[in-house]
Structure 1
Amino acid sequence: MTAERRWIILAAGGSAFLLLGALAFQHLGGLPPCKLCIWQRWPHVIAIGIGLLALALPGRGLPLLGAVAAFATGAIGIYHTGVERGWWEGPASCSSSGVSGLTAEELFEQVMSAPLVRCDEVPWELLSLSMANWNAIIAFVLMLFWVKATFTSAEA
Protein backbone atom coordinates (compact mmCIF):
# COMPACT_ATOMS: atom_id res chain seq x y z
CA MET A 1 0.00 0.00 0.00
CA THR A 2 1.33 3.41 -0.96
CA ALA A 3 1.75 6.26 1.49
CA GLU A 4 -0.82 8.26 -0.49
CA ARG A 5 -3.44 5.52 -0.03
CA ARG A 6 -2.70 5.30 3.71
CA TRP A 7 -3.22 9.07 4.15
CA ILE A 8 -6.43 8.94 2.11
CA ILE A 9 -7.74 6.05 4.20
CA LEU A 10 -6.86 7.90 7.42
CA ALA A 11 -8.49 11.13 6.22
CA ALA A 12 -11.68 9.63 4.78
CA GLY A 13 -11.84 7.11 7.62
CA GLY A 14 -11.60 9.97 10.12
CA SER A 15 -14.58 11.66 8.48
CA ALA A 16 -16.47 8.36 8.57
CA PHE A 17 -15.62 7.99 12.26
CA LEU A 18 -16.85 11.51 13.08
CA LEU A 19 -20.02 11.02 11.05
CA LEU A 20 -20.76 7.69 12.71
CA GLY A 21 -20.09 9.26 16.10
CA ALA A 22 -22.55 12.06 15.36
CA LEU A 23 -25.17 9.53 14.26
CA ALA A 24 -24.55 7.48 17.41
CA PHE A 25 -25.06 10.56 19.61
CA GLN A 26 -28.27 11.22 17.71
CA HIS A 27 -29.78 7.75 17.49
CA LEU A 28 -28.29 5.96 20.48
CA GLY A 29 -27.64 8.89 22.81
CA GLY A 30 -30.88 10.73 22.17
CA LEU A 31 -29.18 14.04 21.23
CA PRO A 32 -30.91 15.35 18.10
CA PRO A 33 -28.75 17.62 15.92
CA CYS A 34 -29.34 21.30 15.39
CA LYS A 35 -29.18 22.96 11.99
CA LEU A 36 -25.45 23.75 12.31
CA CYS A 37 -24.72 20.17 13.39
CA ILE A 38 -26.35 18.96 10.18
CA TRP A 39 -24.34 21.48 8.16
CA GLN A 40 -21.14 20.04 9.67
CA ARG A 41 -22.08 16.52 8.56
CA TRP A 42 -22.34 17.19 4.82
CA PRO A 43 -18.64 17.92 4.20
CA HIS A 44 -17.82 14.65 5.99
CA VAL A 45 -20.14 12.78 3.62
CA ILE A 46 -18.42 14.50 0.69
CA ALA A 47 -14.95 13.69 2.10
CA ILE A 48 -15.86 10.01 2.41
CA GLY A 49 -17.02 9.97 -1.21
CA ILE A 50 -13.86 11.76 -2.32
CA GLY A 51 -11.80 9.24 -0.39
CA LEU A 52 -13.46 6.34 -2.18
CA LEU A 53 -12.88 8.00 -5.54
CA ALA A 54 -9.29 8.92 -4.66
CA LEU A 55 -8.50 5.30 -3.85
CA ALA A 56 -9.69 4.31 -7.32
CA LEU A 57 -8.27 7.30 -9.20
CA PRO A 58 -4.82 8.28 -7.89
CA GLY A 59 -3.60 11.84 -8.33
CA ARG A 60 -3.41 15.14 -6.52
CA GLY A 61 -6.79 16.58 -7.45
CA LEU A 62 -9.08 14.42 -5.34
CA PRO A 63 -7.01 14.57 -2.14
CA LEU A 64 -6.94 18.35 -2.54
CA LEU A 65 -10.76 18.35 -2.76
CA GLY A 66 -10.80 16.18 0.37
CA ALA A 67 -8.75 18.86 2.14
CA VAL A 68 -11.30 21.47 1.08
CA ALA A 69 -14.16 19.33 2.45
CA ALA A 70 -12.33 18.86 5.76
CA PHE A 71 -11.64 22.59 5.94
CA ALA A 72 -15.33 23.32 5.26
CA THR A 73 -16.60 21.19 8.15
CA GLY A 74 -13.91 22.63 10.43
CA ALA A 75 -14.91 26.17 9.49
CA ILE A 76 -18.58 25.41 10.14
CA GLY A 77 -17.51 23.90 13.48
CA ILE A 78 -15.74 27.14 14.41
CA TYR A 79 -18.80 29.15 13.39
CA HIS A 80 -20.99 26.84 15.49
CA THR A 81 -18.59 27.21 18.42
CA GLY A 82 -18.99 30.99 18.24
CA VAL A 83 -22.76 30.62 18.25
CA GLU A 84 -22.62 28.25 21.24
CA ARG A 85 -20.31 30.56 23.19
CA GLY A 86 -22.34 33.68 22.37
CA TRP A 87 -19.53 35.32 20.36
CA TRP A 88 -21.95 35.96 17.48
CA GLU A 89 -25.50 35.16 16.50
CA GLY A 90 -26.33 32.03 14.60
CA PRO A 91 -29.05 31.47 12.05
CA ALA A 92 -32.34 32.93 13.24
CA SER A 93 -34.01 29.56 12.77
CA CYS A 94 -31.94 27.86 15.45
CA SER A 95 -30.79 30.50 17.94
CA SER A 96 -32.48 32.35 20.73
CA SER A 97 -33.04 36.00 19.95
CA GLY A 98 -34.59 37.06 23.24
CA VAL A 99 -38.11 38.18 24.03
CA SER A 100 -37.78 41.88 24.83
CA GLY A 101 -40.12 44.13 22.91
CA LEU A 102 -42.43 41.32 21.78
CA THR A 103 -46.16 41.31 22.24
CA ALA A 104 -47.82 38.25 23.74
CA GLU A 105 -48.95 37.15 20.29
CA GLU A 106 -45.46 37.58 18.81
CA LEU A 107 -43.93 35.68 21.72
CA PHE A 108 -46.46 32.87 21.29
CA GLU A 109 -45.72 32.73 17.55
CA GLN A 110 -41.98 32.64 18.27
CA VAL A 111 -42.41 29.78 20.74
CA MET A 112 -44.69 27.82 18.42
CA SER A 113 -42.39 28.22 15.41
CA ALA A 114 -39.16 27.59 17.33
CA PRO A 115 -37.16 24.50 16.39
CA LEU A 116 -36.77 21.73 18.91
CA VAL A 117 -32.98 21.97 18.97
CA ARG A 118 -31.17 25.27 19.38
CA CYS A 119 -27.75 25.94 17.90
CA ASP A 120 -26.71 28.23 20.75
CA GLU A 121 -26.86 25.58 23.48
CA VAL A 122 -24.21 22.96 24.20
CA PRO A 123 -25.88 19.60 24.77
CA TRP A 124 -22.66 17.65 25.48
CA GLU A 125 -19.05 18.44 26.41
CA LEU A 126 -15.82 16.55 26.93
CA LEU A 127 -12.93 18.40 28.60
CA SER A 128 -15.00 21.61 28.35
CA LEU A 129 -15.19 21.27 24.56
CA SER A 130 -18.48 20.82 22.72
CA MET A 131 -19.11 18.48 19.81
CA ALA A 132 -18.69 21.46 17.45
CA ASN A 133 -15.28 22.18 19.05
CA TRP A 134 -14.17 18.58 18.66
CA ASN A 135 -15.42 18.45 15.09
CA ALA A 136 -13.42 21.57 14.20
CA ILE A 137 -10.22 20.33 15.85
CA ILE A 138 -10.37 16.86 14.32
CA ALA A 139 -11.48 18.20 10.92
CA PHE A 140 -8.40 20.42 10.70
CA VAL A 141 -6.20 17.42 11.54
CA LEU A 142 -7.99 15.47 8.80
CA MET A 143 -7.34 18.39 6.46
CA LEU A 144 -3.62 17.94 7.15
CA PHE A 145 -3.96 14.23 6.33
CA TRP A 146 -5.56 15.15 2.99
CA VAL A 147 -2.76 17.64 2.30
CA LYS A 148 -0.20 14.96 3.11
CA ALA A 149 -1.97 12.62 0.67
CA THR A 150 -1.89 15.37 -1.95
CA PHE A 151 1.87 15.81 -1.69
CA THR A 152 2.71 12.11 -1.46
CA SER A 153 0.72 11.49 -4.64
CA ALA A 154 2.46 9.39 -7.25
CA GLU A 155 1.48 11.92 -9.93
CA ALA A 156 3.43 15.14 -9.83
Structure 2
Amino acid sequence: MSRFPRQPFPAFTAVFLLVACLAALASALYAQYGLGMRPCVLCVAERVPFAVAALFAALALGTARMVSTRRVLLWLAAVAMGVNALIAVYHVGVEQFWWQSAVCSSSEPTVGSTSETLDLAAAMSRPVEDAPCDQPAWAFHGVTMASLNVAFSGLLALLLVLSLRRRR
Protein backbone atom coordinates (compact mmCIF):
# COMPACT_ATOMS: atom_id res chain seq x y z
CA MET A 1 0.00 0.00 0.00
CA SER A 2 1.27 3.44 -0.93
CA ARG A 3 1.93 6.17 1.61
CA PHE A 4 0.29 8.72 -0.64
CA PRO A 5 -3.45 8.68 -1.33
CA ARG A 6 -4.32 7.89 -4.91
CA GLN A 7 -6.06 10.70 -6.74
CA PRO A 8 -9.11 9.80 -8.83
CA PHE A 9 -7.54 11.38 -11.91
CA PRO A 10 -3.73 11.47 -12.05
CA ALA A 11 -2.20 14.92 -12.31
CA PHE A 12 0.55 13.68 -14.62
CA THR A 13 -1.32 14.76 -17.77
CA ALA A 14 -1.80 18.31 -16.51
CA VAL A 15 1.80 18.58 -15.27
CA PHE A 16 3.16 17.21 -18.56
CA LEU A 17 1.06 19.68 -20.56
CA LEU A 18 2.05 22.61 -18.36
CA VAL A 19 5.76 21.81 -18.66
CA ALA A 20 5.51 21.27 -22.44
CA CYS A 21 3.67 24.56 -23.00
CA LEU A 22 6.02 26.56 -20.79
CA ALA A 23 9.03 25.00 -22.54
CA ALA A 24 7.60 25.92 -25.94
CA LEU A 25 6.95 29.50 -24.85
CA ALA A 26 10.40 29.77 -23.25
CA SER A 27 12.09 28.50 -26.43
CA ALA A 28 10.14 30.99 -28.57
CA LEU A 29 11.08 33.88 -26.28
CA TYR A 30 14.72 32.73 -26.21
CA ALA A 31 14.79 32.61 -30.01
CA GLN A 32 13.35 36.12 -30.13
CA TYR A 33 15.31 37.87 -27.40
CA GLY A 34 18.35 35.64 -26.92
CA LEU A 35 19.10 34.85 -30.55
CA GLY A 36 17.60 37.97 -32.13
CA MET A 37 15.13 36.20 -34.42
CA ARG A 38 12.25 38.51 -35.34
CA PRO A 39 8.83 36.82 -35.15
CA CYS A 40 6.14 37.51 -37.69
CA VAL A 41 2.46 37.95 -36.88
CA LEU A 42 1.78 34.22 -37.30
CA CYS A 43 4.72 33.31 -35.04
CA VAL A 44 3.24 35.46 -32.29
CA ALA A 45 -0.23 34.03 -32.93
CA GLU A 46 1.14 30.52 -32.46
CA ARG A 47 2.22 31.44 -28.93
CA VAL A 48 -1.30 32.28 -27.76
CA PRO A 49 -2.67 28.69 -27.73
CA PHE A 50 0.39 27.57 -25.76
CA ALA A 51 -0.37 30.22 -23.11
CA VAL A 52 -4.06 29.26 -23.07
CA ALA A 53 -3.29 25.54 -22.74
CA ALA A 54 -0.76 26.27 -19.96
CA LEU A 55 -3.44 28.24 -18.13
CA PHE A 56 -5.93 25.38 -18.50
CA ALA A 57 -3.31 22.91 -17.26
CA ALA A 58 -2.52 25.07 -14.23
CA LEU A 59 -6.23 25.41 -13.45
CA ALA A 60 -6.64 21.65 -13.83
CA LEU A 61 -3.88 21.11 -11.28
CA GLY A 62 -5.76 23.38 -8.89
CA THR A 63 -8.95 21.33 -9.19
CA ALA A 64 -7.59 18.08 -7.77
CA ARG A 65 -10.85 17.05 -6.13
CA MET A 66 -13.15 18.00 -9.02
CA VAL A 67 -12.45 15.33 -11.61
CA SER A 68 -15.08 16.48 -14.10
CA THR A 69 -13.78 20.07 -14.02
CA ARG A 70 -10.23 18.85 -14.54
CA ARG A 71 -11.33 16.78 -17.54
CA VAL A 72 -13.15 19.73 -19.10
CA LEU A 73 -10.11 21.97 -18.64
CA LEU A 74 -7.81 19.40 -20.22
CA TRP A 75 -10.24 18.89 -23.13
CA LEU A 76 -10.17 22.67 -23.67
CA ALA A 77 -6.36 22.53 -23.62
CA ALA A 78 -6.47 19.77 -26.24
CA VAL A 79 -8.66 21.98 -28.43
CA ALA A 80 -6.19 24.86 -27.98
CA MET A 81 -3.32 22.61 -29.10
CA GLY A 82 -5.36 21.46 -32.10
CA VAL A 83 -6.04 25.09 -33.05
CA ASN A 84 -2.33 25.82 -32.66
CA ALA A 85 -1.47 22.96 -35.01
CA LEU A 86 -3.89 24.42 -37.58
CA ILE A 87 -2.35 27.90 -37.26
CA ALA A 88 1.08 26.32 -37.74
CA VAL A 89 -0.11 24.42 -40.85
CA TYR A 90 -1.35 27.73 -42.26
CA HIS A 91 2.02 29.31 -41.43
CA VAL A 92 3.93 26.50 -43.16
CA GLY A 93 1.75 27.03 -46.23
CA VAL A 94 2.68 30.71 -46.26
CA GLU A 95 6.39 29.88 -45.84
CA GLN A 96 6.26 27.37 -48.70
CA PHE A 97 4.35 29.82 -50.94
CA TRP A 98 1.35 27.49 -51.20
CA TRP A 99 -0.86 30.51 -50.43
CA GLN A 100 -0.48 34.12 -49.36
CA SER A 101 -1.12 35.20 -45.81
CA ALA A 102 -4.23 37.21 -45.12
CA VAL A 103 -2.85 38.55 -41.83
CA CYS A 104 0.75 39.60 -42.41
CA SER A 105 3.15 41.03 -44.94
CA SER A 106 5.04 39.04 -47.51
CA SER A 107 8.38 39.57 -49.16
CA GLU A 108 7.18 38.89 -52.70
CA PRO A 109 7.74 41.71 -55.18
CA THR A 110 4.77 43.38 -56.79
CA VAL A 111 4.43 43.26 -60.58
CA GLY A 112 5.89 46.25 -62.37
CA SER A 113 8.01 47.60 -59.54
CA THR A 114 11.75 48.07 -59.63
CA SER A 115 13.92 46.61 -56.90
CA GLU A 116 14.88 50.10 -55.64
CA THR A 117 11.26 51.17 -55.37
CA LEU A 118 10.31 47.87 -53.79
CA ASP A 119 13.03 48.06 -51.14
CA LEU A 120 12.17 51.63 -50.20
CA ALA A 121 8.43 50.96 -50.22
CA ALA A 122 8.87 47.82 -48.15
CA ALA A 123 11.08 49.60 -45.64
CA MET A 124 8.63 52.47 -45.28
CA SER A 125 5.46 50.37 -45.03
CA ARG A 126 6.61 47.62 -42.66
CA PRO A 127 6.99 48.30 -38.92
CA VAL A 128 10.45 47.59 -37.51
CA GLU A 129 9.30 44.59 -35.46
CA ASP A 130 7.12 43.02 -38.18
CA ALA A 131 8.96 40.26 -40.01
CA PRO A 132 7.51 38.84 -43.24
CA CYS A 133 5.64 35.57 -42.70
CA ASP A 134 7.02 33.92 -45.82
CA GLN A 135 10.67 34.20 -44.74
CA PRO A 136 11.41 31.82 -41.88
CA ALA A 137 13.76 33.19 -39.23
CA TRP A 138 15.31 29.72 -38.89
CA ALA A 139 15.40 26.64 -41.10
CA PHE A 140 17.35 23.39 -41.06
CA HIS A 141 17.16 21.40 -44.30
CA GLY A 142 13.75 22.89 -45.02
CA VAL A 143 12.37 22.28 -41.53
CA THR A 144 11.26 25.57 -40.00
CA MET A 145 10.01 26.47 -36.54
CA ALA A 146 6.46 26.58 -37.89
CA SER A 147 6.75 23.03 -39.25
CA LEU A 148 8.18 21.86 -35.93
CA ASN A 149 5.21 23.50 -34.24
CA VAL A 150 2.81 21.53 -36.45
CA ALA A 151 4.31 18.29 -35.17
CA PHE A 152 4.70 19.45 -31.55
CA SER A 153 1.20 20.93 -31.16
CA GLY A 154 -0.42 18.09 -33.06
CA LEU A 155 1.37 15.51 -30.93
CA LEU A 156 0.38 17.31 -27.71
CA ALA A 157 -3.24 17.46 -28.83
CA LEU A 158 -3.20 13.78 -29.77
CA LEU A 159 -1.60 12.73 -26.48
CA LEU A 160 -4.13 14.76 -24.52
CA VAL A 161 -7.06 13.24 -26.39
CA LEU A 162 -5.73 9.71 -25.96
CA SER A 163 -5.06 10.27 -22.28
CA LEU A 164 -8.50 11.75 -21.64
CA ARG A 165 -10.31 9.03 -23.61
CA ARG A 166 -8.40 6.29 -21.81
CA ARG A 167 -9.29 7.66 -18.38
CA ARG A 168 -13.03 7.70 -18.95
TM-score range, shorter chain: 0.7 to 0.9
1:40 aligned onto 2:51: no
Aligned alpha-carbon RMSD (Å) = 2.3
Q: How does 1:45-64 map to 2 (within 5 A)?
A: 45-57=51-63, 58-59=67-68, 60-64=71-75
Q: CA deviation at 1:149?
A: 3.9
Provide the rounded CA distance (Å) in 2 between the counterparts of 1:127 and 1:9: 33
Q: Which has the higher contact order (CA 8 A, sep 6+)?
A: 1
1:114 aligned onto 2:126: yes
Q: TM-score, normalised by structure 1?
A: 0.85
Deviations 1:72-95 (CA, angstroms, capped at 9, x unpaired): 111111100000000110136321
Contact 2:105 2:132 (C-alpha < 8 Å) held by counterparts: yes
Q: How does 1:116-135 map to 2 (within 5 A)?
A: 116-135=130-149
My pick for the range that moved more, 18-27 or 106-115, is 106-115
Provide the rounded CA distance (Å) in 2 between the counterparts of 1:18 and 1:46: 12
1:27 aligned onto 2:33: yes
Q: How many matched pairs?
A: 153
Task: Please state whether the residue corresponding to 2:134 is helix, strand or coil.
Answer: coil
Contact 1:61 1:150 (C-alpha < 8 Å) held by counterparts: no
Larger Rg: 2
The one-letter amino acid paired with 1:140 is G
Q: Gaps spanning 5+ residues in structure 2: where?
A: 1-5
Provide the rounded CA distance (Å) in 2 between the counterparts of 1:4 and 1:42: 26
Q: TM-score, normalised by structure 2?
A: 0.80
| Counterpart for residue 139 of structure 1 | 153
Shift in alpha-carbon separation, 1:81–1:32, aligned structure 2, 3 A: same
| Counterpart for residue 70 of structure 1 | 81
Of the three residues 103, 112, 129, the one matched with 1:101 is 112
Shift in alpha-carbon separation, 1:18–1:112, aligned structure 2, 3 A: same
Q: Which runs of 4+ in 1 moved over 4 A?
A: 106-110
